[in-house]
Structure 1
Amino acid sequence: MNNFNKLGLSSKVIEVLDQLGFENPTPIQEQAIPYLLSNTPTDFIGLAQTGTGKTAAFGLPLIDRIDLDDKSTQALVMAPTRELGMQTAKQLVDFTSNNKKLNVEVVYGGASITTQIKALKKPTQIVVATPGRLLDLIKRKAIKLDQVQYVVLDEADEMLNMGFKEDIDDILSYTPEERVTWLFSATMPPEIRKIVKKYMKDPKEVSINTKEKSNKDISHKYVVTKTADKVAALRRFLDLQPDMRGIMFCRTRRETQEISDHLGNLGYGAEALHGDLSQAQREAVMKRFKMRSMQLLVATDVAARGIDVNDLTHVIHHTLPDQLESYTHRSGRTGRAGKKGVSLALINPREGRKISMLEKKINVKFEKIEVPTTEALKSTRINNWASLIINTKVDEQADEILKHLHGQFEHLSKEDILKRLITTQLDHLTGNEGEDNDLNESQKQGGGDEGGRKKKGTSNRFFINIGTMDGITKADLVHYISDVSGVDRKVFTDFSIQKSCAFFNVEKGYDKGLSECFEGVEVEGRAIRVNRDDEMPEKKGKGGGGNRASRRAKSHGGKPRSSGRGRSHRGGGGRRRRN
């Protein structure tokens, strides 16, 4: 019996679910669907982790609510990435396969806008869209949202992390005020609460396993090694577990490509997925990954959002995300459908604090494990190889082939042949030549102990509310921060520039008073805020919008950059007001 029957869905939808093999609803579907089908539709918030069936939770009742005689766009689903948008649209199309009157279209950047405009000229009741492309279509008058009754914000926390807050505000201004808004998210940061307060009226909120912030089927582990040894450590895990299949997350596109190229040149099945690839290239990579033509997908956070691949054994973090909420999204790609998975973080000795913060934030315990030594790798590989030979069924053609080869081995004893075969197996590990036997490091080396406390000579992570949307580059940002603070550029390292903000390390001892240097500083009328990444600005009394200094000063009138006035650099960050 199909248990979706009990949720109030129409017979037409139940018929499709039977065809697709859907029998038992997930917890979020069980709680959301009856409410979203109620006679008086109201705003709704659904909180559940990635991979819990949120698309069906809003998609099935949405389909039943569409007026098939009305050819206008009645529902809008916004997704953070084209991959997630395509995935959501495909599921909705599958759910409407027996209903030819209902049309679903998906629009996203990176594809021909002309083709999408042409598709939208057909009657389209449900539109799935990424914010950037949707705004473009609105401005071209290629889509009208004045008849939209339902707006779904899917993966809302991810959209905010990617800097789409202003785009969402703009898009919703084109929809009727009396629309119904359904918001689905894995986490509920303060920024989402602001959206709820601004756009939703007394929403019903359903939370699934909010106290269990992490999937119990995922084992969280970490190793401590030098940053320069992280890829070498990864290779050893790949050699030790040839059945491993997973995604490794990197900070930058360049890093992603370099690591995948390095692994590919050594014979590992690895490919990159990042924003510099064309849409056709991205789709080809994902097709090969889903068909198991590769072992490891090396991706940036942005490129990997929306990826839905079954049976991943591992999620590997080359660098832990700056926004710790993103860790939940990353690790949630393994340990699905009752299967076990591993989330493995490769950290350097100074990053122990991040592990401690994650343990508290998502209520999990990380297990520290060791990077395999070269000797352990050799032993494991030879034992696996020997077991494979022993258990291999002899092919019928082997006898005939052996007759032709017999003469070539007459001068070799059995031991000689085995030694040569063993050597061919050890040759696979040539990528380890020149590496230390032991790549493990102590967290106390470099400044972080098990509790994440810092020692002299290490650095602290800082936040600044300037990003790529300001046209900033790493060189611009280094010069700008150095110029405003009066601190030598050499102490600022490890920059991570995102759409609306950036993160960077400051050598300890040079960061005192750094935040105060930016009081009253503005860029194009926006107050600039700098603070420690592990400190809320309210604790210091200097949030981005509540700066004590006057905002009446004139702006730079462009992106931040060094003034080139030859100011002397000094440690400690002297107080300096700059407009």
Structure 2
Amino acid sequence: MQNFVETGLRPEILESLETIGFKTPTPIQSKTIPYILESENDLVAMAQTGTGKTAAFGLPILQKINTENNKIQSIILCPTRELCLQITRDIERFSTNLPLSVVAVYGGEPINRQISALKRKCHMVVGTPGRVNDLINRRILDLSSVRFLVLDEADEMLKMGFKDEMDAILAETPKTKQTLLFSATIPPDIESIAGKYMNKPHKISVTHNNQTAENINHFYMVTSTSTAYPTLRRFADMHPDIYSIVFCRTRQETKDIANKLIEDGYNADALHGELSQGLRDQVMGRFRKKHLQILVATDVAARGLDVNDLTHVIHYHLPDETENYVHRSGRTGRAGKSGVSVAIISPKETNKIKMLERKIKKSFTRIMVPGGMEVFQNRLVNYLETLKTVEPNSFPLDQYWDLVQEHLNHLSKEDLIKAILSREFYRVYEDYSTAPDLNVSAERPNSTKNKRNRREKGRRFSKFSINLGRKNNMRPDLLINLINRHTPEYNIQIGKIDIQPAHTIFEADQHYEKELIKAFRKAKFKGNSLYVQTFKKHRR
């Protein structure tokens, strides 16, 4: 199907689509729009996130709704508040030339506003199961006139524990309605709902289960668990125009990684379940407007965040389930653009990469973690490139020009450039000039054998303490970088690291005990003197 005219949609809807730039239907839209327009039978459609599902069910429903009847004729259920708002916005854009009203109902907002909206003219409701069920129990939401029921991302609603609410809501709808179920996967629970509430549904699938889009390239970097964060930093530094979601497993990890990125000067923030609705809206609004370059999120929190221009999806940890990897990766490479999915893994996770390759039928390419000087040079070049585009008249510099010349006239052009670059890049150079290689072998190590070999070679460790701790934002990778920077002539092996509130206890090769203490005698960190000394546990 080459254009939306061929779908059979009304001129008013086609005009709206032209205004917002919709030209060619996606595969799921090409198959579902004509079917829903021509048939009243139920439908089960399997399609991944980002394939244009909202238009696939929304456009034909808009065409079939009777706008002269002010009763609720369609209800769309979805798993999260964010997706609820996104669907509502899309429906409103599609229906700009129609006298149609759509109301979004979701938790985390005062219910009274939503009750007032429902009491006015309302043809369509988009809602999350919990709030919809609440409104039904309050006898506010009447679904007796519903002709179209949509279950969007039905698999996610079940995963989030909404089965009871979904059962209760579906029981309130007429038996004669048309039910449209959209899901990325069809697990047994979905089959059960289809069997219980749907009448011989027609099935449409536009992708094989657990397969990602063709225009997404898959990469991975192998590093140790303790250096995953500096690996992420280096990757971001190599891509100054990065616009990415970084996926983490837990809320706490999401907060920790986002805080580190913010402290290190990146335009980043976190999206997780502990945020209030107001803060979630604020964070997502900033990300959509590209005021944030990096959004660190959990899988559930990122649901409903519809962004078309992501350059990268980064897996700080690989998900346990293949379908979650497919969901994550599908957030890049949208609207016909190419996308990049990058996983940061430890050697023991290489088997997961091989498993993913088999399941999604795509090959993964290993890329190396950039070296310190490679990152430094890249940042320097990008800074120089940005200078070329700076508008010299961005503020009234002319009126201060005599003052500028008075202070800088004695400097040659070369000395001035050196002074500017030294000021801008001294700390960056200090960080990266002695930065260690973060790449490790992709072969899964035999940890017991490695420990035995280390002791057999006669390497013994002494305990040391340094006057930096959690209050100084000390991290294992930061400690290792400090030691490497101040002892560049030695290859000092580091053992266990224990970060405490005000100091850090660490193991280091006892052969270099004197050299290590001496190297830090005049060392400073952020203007404060550093002290390294041997650590002896006091006994009582």
TM-score (norm 1): 0.72
Counterpart for residue 514 of structure 1? none
- State whether structure 2 residue 360 is matched by structure 1 residue 329: no
Counterpart for residue 187 of structure 1? 185
Which one is further off, 132-141 or 204-213?
A: 204-213
Counterpart for residue 566 of structure 1? none
* Contact 2:77-2:129 at 8 Å conserved across structures: yes
SS in 2 for 1:152: strand
Matches within 5 A, 1:42-441: 42-100=41-99, 102-210=100-208, 213-389=211-387, 403-409=402-408, 416-427=415-426, 429=428, 432=431, 436-441=435-440
Distance 2:159 2:392 in 1: 56
Distance 1:17 1:74 in 2: 22
Alpha-carbon offset, residue 399 of structure 1 = 7.9
Alpha-carbon offset, residue 250 of structure 1 = 1.4
Q: 1:424 to 1:77 in 2, by over 3 A?
A: same
Distance 1:221 1:57 in 2: 31
Distance 1:435 1:202 in 2: 66
Alpha-carbon offset, residue 22 of structure 1 = 2.6
Q: 1:365 to 1:428 in 2, by over 3 A?
A: farther
AA of the residue aligned to 2:77:
M
Alpha-carbon offset, residue 242 of structure 1 = 0.6
* Contact 1:43-1:202 at 8 Å conserved across structures: yes
SS in 2 for 1:301: coil
Alignment RMSD? 2.9
Distance 1:114 1:398 in 2: 54
Q: 1:201 to 1:440 in 2, by over 3 A?
A: same
Counterpart for residue 509 of structure 2? none
* Contact 1:350-1:447 at 8 Å conserved across structures: no
* 1:55-76 CA distance string (max 9 Å, x none): 1110011112223333322211
Q: 1:391 to 1:275 in 2, by over 3 A?
A: closer
Distance 2:430 2:283 in 1: 25
TM-score (norm 2): 0.77
Q: 1:106 to 1:318 in 2, by over 3 A?
A: same
Alpha-carbon offset, residue 401 of structure 1 = 5.5
* Contact 1:2-1:22 at 8 Å conserved across structures: no
Distance 1:31 1:328 in 2: 22
Counterpart for residue 22 of structure 1? 22
Distance 1:211 1:117 in 2: 39
* Contact 1:107-1:128 at 8 Å conserved across structures: yes
Distance 1:286 1:401 in 2: 40
* 1:252-277 CA distance string (max 9 Å, x none): 22222222122112211001112222
Distance 2:431 2:323 in 1: 35
* Contact 1:107-1:134 at 8 Å conserved across structures: yes
Distance 2:211 2:52 in 1: 16
Alpha-carbon offset, residue 421 of structure 1 = 3.0
SS in 1 for 2:247: strand
Distance 1:416 1:6 in 2: 67
Distance 2:400 2:162 in 1: 64
Distance 1:234 1:296 in 2: 11
Please list every run of 5 or more consecutive structure 1 residues that lacks an aligned counterpart in the other structure. 449-453, 458-579
* 1:376-404 CA distance string (max 9 Å, x none): 11122223334445676766977885653
* Contact 1:103-1:123 at 8 Å conserved across structures: yes
- State whether structure 2 residue 40 is matched by structure 1 residue 41: yes
Which one is further off, 129-138 or 400-409?
A: 400-409
Alpha-carbon offset, residue 181 of structure 1 = 1.1
Distance 1:363 1:207 in 2: 17
Which has more radius of gyration?
2
Distance 1:152 1:456 in 2: 56
Alpha-carbon offset, residue 428 of structure 1 = 5.5
SS in 1 for 2:180: strand
* Contact 1:266-1:431 at 8 Å conserved across structures: no
SS in 2 for 1:350: helix
SS in 1 for 2:382: helix
Distance 1:266 1:431 in 2: 14
Tell me the number of residue pairs that the alignment of Structure 1 and Structure 2 aligns: 450
Q: 1:229 to 1:124 in 2, by over 3 A?
A: same
* Contact 1:250-1:298 at 8 Å conserved across structures: yes
AA of the residue aligned to 2:40:
P
Distance 2:384 2:62 in 1: 56
Larger proportion of helix: 2
Please list every run of 5 or more consecutive structure 2 residues that lacks an aligned counterpart in the other structure. 452-540
Q: 1:379 to 1:144 in 2, by over 3 A?
A: same
AA of the residue aligned to 1:144:
D
Alpha-carbon offset, residue 216 of structure 1 = 1.7
Matches within 5 A, 1:504-543: none
Percentage identity across aligned positions? Answer: 46
Alpha-carbon offset, residue 121 of structure 1 = 1.4
Distance 1:16 1:87 in 2: 17
* 1:477-501 CA distance string (max 9 Å, x none): xxxxxxxxxxxxxxxxxxxxxxxxx
Which one is further off, 191-200 or 168-177?
A: 191-200
* Contact 1:224-1:349 at 8 Å conserved across structures: yes
Distance 2:430 2:88 in 1: 43
* 1:520-578 CA distance string (max 9 Å, x none): xxxxxxxxxxxxxxxxxxxxxxxxxxxxxxxxxxxxxxxxxxxxxxxxxxxxxxxxxxx
Distance 1:231 1:149 in 2: 51
Distance 1:54 1:231 in 2: 35
Q: 1:11 to 1:405 in 2, by over 3 A?
A: closer
SS in 1 for 2:300: helix
* Contact 1:232-1:432 at 8 Å conserved across structures: no
* 1:439-484 CA distance string (max 9 Å, x none): 1222334459xxxxx9999xxxxxxxxxxxxxxxxxxxxxxxxxxx
AA of the residue aligned to 1:52:
T
SS in 2 for 1:254: helix
Q: 1:414 to 1:93 in 2, by over 3 A?
A: closer
Q: 1:4 to 1:123 in 2, by over 3 A?
A: same
Q: 1:164 to 1:427 in 2, by over 3 A?
A: farther
Alpha-carbon offset, residue 34 of structure 1 = 1.0
Distance 1:431 1:118 in 2: 60
SS in 2 for 1:184: strand
Distance 1:124 1:288 in 2: 30
Counterpart for residue 441 of structure 2? 442
